[in-house]
């Protein structure tokens, strides 16, 4: 029996080989549990031995104390590669037990032909699951900072990957638009409006500045006072601090009262809150648009939208004895997690976790999420562990069909500056995302101008914008999601190397073949159905790489790892150079071969374009 049953439409010979090898290993070593079978198939290190090699025999032999070559022979005996590769016999075993495989040339060309359709060989599942992707998640009255670059760019790419796989995708931006910090800003705006300020002229930068002022205003320096009292300090300092604390307490009380009035729908409070919301979201959504992230108004599901659900939710947890009192607060204890999840503070206020519990409930039972992916900073990993466990304990993760939804924190690392510390602006604050994007565009403009001195500025500007966004996004997406990475403009904007601009340039180059053909009057009308003829090693290598695409989309999507798609796109773009050098296309005299190569270029252009589209990276026609 097959351990991994790809559908009949599996076209990647490597994937087919993987299945056949699994079956053979299972037959040769029945004691090895099926789920532990690793076929270890890689492209051959020495093409003269074949296209692929399996290194599976060595580790299995070690584990079961067998002779690796003998085991390899046993595997080969059971191996059926009919239809994909030339028969594999003992003569294909090399060294300590490598098993070499040579594909049938027609297997590659037939598979390529099967892939050459609108879907590029990617077939949607019969019953597509619904995936909710938590993206972006900005906070009101705050400018987007570089952390939101990642939740936006990676979040959107993960959503696009699932869409590409044919899943139903719902993006949700969990906007931080509720609670005391926002009430503080509302209170402040009402105060300054009473003093005569016209609120309609405020920008997000103004709100951001105000946010900091009110935060500081409400922060009592109680600790300092306690210290002065303990060690004995200057009486005047003590009095000053006491006054500051009294002021802070008063400001805090006012903000709390404002939250209550906001909660109860007081007209003026709501109006000012709405103003803050509109200013923040219009700036945020235009940044998303600039980043080619498909995140719009309809994806916003702010914390405020859960406010009426929190009371009943907490009551439900009390009634079912899932939550318990602890020193006046209400907590949920979950097995395996030391820190209990606090869902109501002693003063009766709800928390970030309470809202996230309500969000899980909505996402699974109302929106129908079978999978809920949270694309959020890794520093929130404890929060999500707690919330997922508490939701599970309460059964809020049960789908309408009665299954447990998959809740997954697709966490990401921090963007660092050249000093390896979290990236900050010159004044030591969180770096504003708009400033960062502007900087990238201004640098890209210089490069585009340098490379295209004759191009009019009006044509250069949109190219520079696209190149900059591609550079920033690719740099972010191509590092392993979990890792921190250093933001380096020079490196990410380079036209050579593993960069966004390089990929855009490669795509332009591939597509330029068809422009040149038109200019030279070469007939390109009948390559679309031409049989693939893979003569040179470099075109065979390109073909094998293209065939990996469908399986790669699937695995990158399942793992929520867009960086895998980035490496694939980079490898593909890099494989074009050797092909171009060794395989004349337009100059090829053999018409059948020329058509085959044109078709290969066309397929390459479409796969590369599709990969970039799936990553959310904008492309250009010239650069
Ligand atoms: N607003 C939060 C922040 O800036 C991110 C929200 C993440 N999503 C969630 N469901 N908690 O940190």
pLDDT digits (tens, 9 = 90+) for 377-396: 999 999 999 999 999 999 99
CB of 356 closer than 6 A to ligand 1? Answer: yes
Report how far residue 10's alpha carbon sits from residue 6's, in angstroms, rounded to the nearest whole number.
Answer: 6
Mean pLDDT of all residues in the chain?
93
Confidence (pLDDT) at 379? 96
In the reported structure, the alpha carbon of residue 175 is separated from the centroid of ligand 1 by a whole-number distance in angstroms of 7
User: Which residues are registered as beta bridge partners of 371?
Assistant: 131, 406
Ligand 1 atom at minimal distance to the Cα of residue 139: 1
**If residue 343 lies in a helix (H) or strand (E), which one and from where to where?**
strand 341-344
**pLDDT cut 90: percent of the chain above it:** 85
Torsional sign, CA 364, 367, 370, 373:
negative
Using DSSP's 3-state secondary structure scheme, residue 374 falls into strand
**And the tokens for 91?**
């003569």
| Predicted confidence (pLDDT) at residue 552 exceeds the cutoff of 80 | yes
For 458-483, write each residue's pLDDT tens digit: 999 999 999 999 999 999 999 999 99
Q: Which CATH number fits domain 500-615: 1.10.760.10, 3.30.70.1450, 1.10.510.10, 1.10.730.10?
A: 1.10.730.10
Confidence (pLDDT) at 254? 92
Q: Quick one: average pLDDT of 185-194? A: 96
For 296-329, write each residue's pLDDT tens digit: 999 999 999 999 999 999 999 999 999 999 999 9
Q: CB atoms < 10 A from the CB of 474, how many?
A: 26
**If residue 261 lies in a helix (H) or strand (E), which one and from where to where?**
helix 235-263
Confidence (pLDDT) at 571? 97
Q: Quick one: average pLDDT of 360-376? A: 98
**And the tokens for 132?**
């909710």
Confidence (pLDDT) at 233? 64
Q: For residue 212, give the nearest of 157, 143, 129 by alpha carbon.
A: 143
| Predicted confidence (pLDDT) at residue 425 exceeds the cutoff of 90 | no
Ligand 1 atom at minimal distance to the Cα of residue 377: 12
- pLDDT bucket at 428, cuts 50 / 70 / 90: confident
- pLDDT bucket at 65, cuts 50 / 70 / 90: very high
- pLDDT bucket at 1, cuts 50 / 70 / 90: very low
**If residue 391 lies in a helix (H) or strand (E), which one and from where to where?**
helix 381-394
Distances 116 to 6, 313, 531 between C-alpha atoms, Å: 19, 51, 11
Report how far residue 572's alpha carbon sits from residue 98's, in angstroms, rounded to the nearest whole number.
Answer: 26
Cβ contacts of 186 within 8 Å, gap of 6 or more: 258, 262, 269, 272, 273, 276
Give the residue, by CA position, lying nearest to ligand 1 atom 12: 137
- pLDDT bucket at 9, cuts 50 / 70 / 90: low
Confidence (pLDDT) at 2? 35
Domain(s) of CATH 1.10.730.10: residues in the chain: 500-615
Ligand 1 atom at minimal distance to the Cα of residue 176: 1
Q: Quick one: average pLDDT of 232-241? A: 75
CB of 134 closer than 6 A to ligand 1? Answer: yes
Q: What is the CA radius of gyration of the chain?
A: 30
In the reported structure, the alpha carbon of residue 403 is separated from the centroid of ligand 1 by a whole-number distance in angstroms of 26
Pocket test for ligand 1, best of 141, 147, 376 (most atoms within 8 A of CB): 376
Cβ contacts of 228 within 8 Å, gap of 6 or more: 234, 237, 238, 241
Q: Quick one: average pLDDT of 165-179? A: 97
Pairing state of beta strands 130-135 and 371-374? parallel
Q: How far is CA 559 from the centre of its chain?
A: 10
Confidence (pLDDT) at 539? 94
The residue whose two tokens read 């899980």 is: 360
Cβ contacts of 234 within 8 Å, gap of 6 or more: 228
The residue whose two tokens read 């602006």 is: 425
Using DSSP's 3-state secondary structure scheme, residue 406 falls into strand
User: Is there a contact between 158 and 375 (Cβ–Cβ < 8 Å)?
Assistant: yes
Q: Quick one: average pLDDT of 9-17? A: 82
In the reported structure, the alpha carbon of residue 563 is separated from the centroid of ligand 1 by a whole-number distance in angstroms of 22
| Predicted confidence (pLDDT) at residue 248 exceeds the cutoff of 60 | yes
Confidence (pLDDT) at 4? 38
User: Is there a contact between 166 and 123 (Cβ–Cβ < 8 Å)?
Assistant: yes
Confidence (pLDDT) at 124? 94
| Predicted confidence (pLDDT) at residue 291 exceeds the cutoff of 90 | yes
Give the residue, by CA position, lying nearest to ligand 1 atom 10: 174
Domain(s) of CATH 3.30.1360.70: residues in the chain: 13-103
Pocket test for ligand 1, best of 149, 305, 380, 411 (most atoms within 8 A of CB): 380
Q: Quick one: average pLDDT of 421-441? A: 88
**And the tokens for 459?**
């044509």
| Predicted confidence (pLDDT) at residue 125 exceeds the cutoff of 80 | yes
Confidence (pLDDT) at 7? 41
Confidence (pLDDT) at 609? 98
CB of 176 closer than 6 A to ligand 1? Answer: yes
Distances 352 to 174, 349, 357 between C-alpha atoms, Å: 11, 10, 9
* DSSP 8-state symbol, 424: B
Distances 464 to 225, 445, 449, 496, 505 between C-alpha atoms, Å: 54, 5, 9, 16, 13
CB of 303 closer than 6 A to ligand 1? Answer: no
The residue whose two tokens read 């979290």 is: 422
In the reported structure, the alpha carbon of residue 186 is separated from the centroid of ligand 1 by a whole-number distance in angstroms of 21
In the reported structure, the alpha carbon of residue 360 is separated from the centroid of ligand 1 by a whole-number distance in angstroms of 13
CATH of domain 13-103: 3.30.1360.70
């Amino acid at each position: 029996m097959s351990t991994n049953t790809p559908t009949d439409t599996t076209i990647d010979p490597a994937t087919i080989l993987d299945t056949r090898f699994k079956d053979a290993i299972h037959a040769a070593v029945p004691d090895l549990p099926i789920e532990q079978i690793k076929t270890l198939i890689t492209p051959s290190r020495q093409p003269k031995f074949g296209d692929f090699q399996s290194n599976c025999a060595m580790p299995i032999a070690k584990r079961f104390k067998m002779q690796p070559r003998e085991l390899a022979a046993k595997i080969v005996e059971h191996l059926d590669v009919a239809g994909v590769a030339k028969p594999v016999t003992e003569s294909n075993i090399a060294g300590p037990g490598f098993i070499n495989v040579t594909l049938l040339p027609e297997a590659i060309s037939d598979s390529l032909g099967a892939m050459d359709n609108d879907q590029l060989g990617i077939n949607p599942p019969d019953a597509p699951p619904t995936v909710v992707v938590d993206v972006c998640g900005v906070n009101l009255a705050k400018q987007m900072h570089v952390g939101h670059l990642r939740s936006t760019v990676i979040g959107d790419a993960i959503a696009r990957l699932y869409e590409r796989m044919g899943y139903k995708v719902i993006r949700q931006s969990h906007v931080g638009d509720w609670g005391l910090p926002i009430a503080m800003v509302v209170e402040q705006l009402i105060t300054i409006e009473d003093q005569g300020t016209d609120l309609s002229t405020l920008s997000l930068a103004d709100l951001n500045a105000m946010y900091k002022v009110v935060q500081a205003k409400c922060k009592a320096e109680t600790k300092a006072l306690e210290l002065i009292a303990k060690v004995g300090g200057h009486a005047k300092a003590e009095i000053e601090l006491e006054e500051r604390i009294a002021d802070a307490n008063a400001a805090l009380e006012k903000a709390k009262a404002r939250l209550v009035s906001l909660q109860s729908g007081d007209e003026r409070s709501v109006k000012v809150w709405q103003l803050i919301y509109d200013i923040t979201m219009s700036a945020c959504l235009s940044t998303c648009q600039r980043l080619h992230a498909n995140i719009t108004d309809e994806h916003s599901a702010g914390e405020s939208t859960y406010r009426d659900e929190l009371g009943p939710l907490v009551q439900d947890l009390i009634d079912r004895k899932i939550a318990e009192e602890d020193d006046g607060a209400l907590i949920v204890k979950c097995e395996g997690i030391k820190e209990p999840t606090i869902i109501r503070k002693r003063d009766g206020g709800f928390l970030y976790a309470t809202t996230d519990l309500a969000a899980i409930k909505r996402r699974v039972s109302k929106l129908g999420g079978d999978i809920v992916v949270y694309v959020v900073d890794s520093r929130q990993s404890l929060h999500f562990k707690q919330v997922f466990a508490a939701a599970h304990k309460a059964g809020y993760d049960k789908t309408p069909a009665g299954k447990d939804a998959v809740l997954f924190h697709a966490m990401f690392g921090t963007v660092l500056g050249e000093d390896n510390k979290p990236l900050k602006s010159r004044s030591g604050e969180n770096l504003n995302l708009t400033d960062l994007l502007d900087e990238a565009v201004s640098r890209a403009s210089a490069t585009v101008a340098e490379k295209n001195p004759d191009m009019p500025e009006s044509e250069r500007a949109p190219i520079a914008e696209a190149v900059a966004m591609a550079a920033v996004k690719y740099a972010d997406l191509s590092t392993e999601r979990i890792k921190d990475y250093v933001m380096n403009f020079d490196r990410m904007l380079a036209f050579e190397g593993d960069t966004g601009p390089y990929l855009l340039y490669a795509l332009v180059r591939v597509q330029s073949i068809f422009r040149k053909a038109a200019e030279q009057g070469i007939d390109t009308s009948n390559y679309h159905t031409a049989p693939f003829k893979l003569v040179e090693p470099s075109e065979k290598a390109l073909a094998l790489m293209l065939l990996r695409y469908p399986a790669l989309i699937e695995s990158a999507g399942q793992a929520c790892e867009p960086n895998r798609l980035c490496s694939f796109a980079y490898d593909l773009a890099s494989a074009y150079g050797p092909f171009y050098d060794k395989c004349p296309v337009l100059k090829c005299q053999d018409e059948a071969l020329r058509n085959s190569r044109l078709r290969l270029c066309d397929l390459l252009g479409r796969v590369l374009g599709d990969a970039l589209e799936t990553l959310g990276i904008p492309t250009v026609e010239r650069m």
